[in-house]
């Protein structure tokens, strides 16, 4: 079945539909440079509102398994690939990528030139697009696209956050880096994790340090948090523009200085805004598992996984008690910050993803130390 992708600037790509068919999807089109990990990308809640293009040409080789998901279902609006592997080969696979997307109602398109699409996005920036396999004309698609709001200023967190308080209890997988972790204290430290679109591996890592982890909705108030009496607060990753999540910013602002805080990705940006800083939209964002980040304290270069379209303005935090701790070597953007006096720190990249030789678990270790020192 034919599928058509139309970008906001009029660029058209025609390919073959896979996954859900006979439907129309709208979202911001971005590209991801990872060569593996498509299952984690599909289920990352930070991709809500976006259609993801994979730059690696052959996708679906190892199918889908039940262990490597980052949330309970795919979160992307649509999936764009050069060539779909229809017969996966892996002993862990339980179904094909095509069947998985079809089961969850997610549309895909293949047999398009993803190199051309990626170069177009790099030149023009991330663009809203509409993907249709239901036979709409270009004028009809263009009219629907015009009526769809952009991501800037929108609250996308509301679509991916939990609707109730819950304790994270799944068993921690037996992997080499978990075996090396030893809790720093016999006392169980209680972490309240704000779910702005939290990834499962973040929760696994928090549990692996021996923490009791209570996951709360993004709309949880400061007073509700205080009643839980946590040792520390974790601010999670999530989708969209941080400036659109006013309630989360206000809650974090009210809790600053009361308990240690650690933020990742959107949580990093929300912490910045809560302290009076500013964020801005990147031209085409950072999406991939090969971004070099320099730790300004140790001068170690980490190869990191990233997924975000917004960044912290470094000038806006200089007089807010924050200092930059990590720097993106590709474009010199802020990748980490910490408070000069308070136990607050955050990173823009995903330290739990471990794409390179340095897996950044020291950031979780530091969270333990801050909570112990504050108690």
Beta-carbon count within 10 A of 170 CB: 9
Q: How many angstroms separate the Cα of 81 from the Cα of each of 18, 132, 136, 159, 262?
A: 10, 15, 21, 25, 35
CA distance 73 to 196: 16
What is the sign of the dihedral through the CA atoms of 137, 141, 142 and 143?
positive
Query: Do residues 178 and 210 lie in contact, with contact meaning Cβ atoms separated by under 8 Å?
Result: no
Residues that are catalytic: 265, 350, 352
* Four-point Cα dihedral 246, 251, 252, 256, nearest 10: 140
Beta-carbon count within 10 A of 248 CB: 26
Beta-carbon count within 10 A of 147 CB: 7
Match 């007073």 to its residue by tokens. 223
Reported residue count of the chain is 375
3-state helix, strand, coil in the chain (%, to 5): 25, 30, 45
CA distance 322 to 345: 9
Beta-carbon count within 10 A of 357 CB: 7
Match 């990528």 to its residue by tokens. 97
Match 């060569």 to its residue by tokens. 35
HSE-up of residue 10 (Cα within 13 Å, Cβ side):
0
């Amino acid at each position: 079945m034919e599928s058509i992708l139309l970008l906001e600037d009029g660029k058209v790509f025609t390919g073959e539909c896979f996954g859900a068919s006979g439907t129309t999807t709208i979202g911001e089109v971005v590209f991801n440079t990872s060569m593996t990990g498509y299952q984690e990308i599909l289920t990352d809640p930070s991709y809500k509102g976006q259609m993801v293009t994979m730059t690696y040409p052959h996708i679906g080789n190892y199918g889908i398994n039940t262990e490597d998901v980052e949330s309970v279902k795919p979160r992307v609006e649509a999936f764009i690939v050069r060539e779909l592997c229809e017969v996966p080969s892996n002993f862990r696979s339980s179904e094909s990528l095509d069947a998985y997307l079809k089961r969850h109602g997610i549309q895909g398109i293949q047999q398009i030139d993803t190199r051309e699409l990626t170069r177009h996005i790099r030149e023009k920036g991330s663009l809203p697009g509409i993907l249709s396999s239901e036979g709409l004309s270009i004028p009809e698609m263009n009219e629907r696209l015009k009526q769809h709001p952009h991501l800037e200023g929108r609250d996308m967190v509301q679509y991916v956050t939990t609707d109730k308080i819950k304790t994270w209890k799944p068993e921690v997988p037996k992997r080499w880096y978990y075996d090396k972790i030893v809790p720093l204290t016999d006392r169980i430290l209680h972490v309240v994790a704000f779910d702005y679109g939290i990834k499962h591996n973040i929760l696994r890592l928090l549990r692996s340090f021996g923490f009791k982890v209570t996951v709360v909705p993004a709309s949880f108030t400061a007073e509700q948090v205080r009643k839980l009496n946590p040792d520390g607060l974790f601010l999670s990753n999530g989708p969209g523009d941080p400036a659109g999540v006013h309630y989360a910013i206000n809650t974090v602002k009210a809790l600053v200085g009361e308990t240690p805080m650690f933020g990742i990705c959107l949580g990093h940006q929300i912490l910045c805004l809560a302290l009076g800083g500013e964020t801005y939209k990147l031209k085409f964002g950072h999406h991939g598992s090969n971004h070099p980040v320099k730790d300004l304290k140790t001068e170690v270069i980490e190869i990191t996984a990233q997924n975000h379209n917004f960044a912290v303005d470094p000038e806006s935090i200089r007089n807010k008690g924050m200092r930059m701790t990590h720097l993106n070597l590709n474009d010199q953007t802020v990748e980490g910050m910490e408070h000069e006096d308070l136990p607050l720190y955050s990173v823009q990249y995903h330290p739990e993803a471990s794409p390179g030789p340095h897996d950044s678990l020291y950031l979780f270790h530091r969270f333990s130390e801050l909570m112990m020192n504050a108690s």
